[in-house]
Amino acid sequence: MKFIFDKQGDTLIVHMQGELDHHSSVSFRNALEGMINKTNAKKLLLDFKGVPFMDSSGVGVIIGRYKSISQRGGQVWVTNLSPQVKKVMEVSGLFNIIKVRK
Partner 1 sequence: MNKKNEFKVEFLSISQNESFARIVVSAFAAQLNPTLEQLADIKTAVSEAVTNAIIHGYENKLGYVKIHGIIDDKGITISVIDEGKGIEDIEKAKQPLYTSKPELERSGMGFTVMETFMDEVIVESHVNKGTRVTLKKYLADTSD
Q: Which is nearer to partner 1, 32 or 41 (CB)?
A: 32
φ/ψ of 13, rounded to 5, equals -100, 135
Interacting positions 9-68 with partner 1 (CB under 8 A): 19, 21-23, 25-26, 29, 53, 55-57, 59-61, 63-64
CB 74 within 8 A of CB 41: yes
Please list, in sequence order, all residues whose beta carbon lies within 8 angstroms of the beta carbon of residue 65, skipping any fewer than 6 positions away.
Answer: 29, 32, 33, 36, 44, 76
Q: Does 91 bind partner 1 (CB under 8 A)?
A: yes
State the number of binding residues for partner 1 (CB under 8 A). Answer: 23
Residues that bind partner 1 (CB under 8 A): 19, 21-23, 25-26, 29, 53, 55-57, 59-61, 63-64, 83-84, 87-88, 91-93
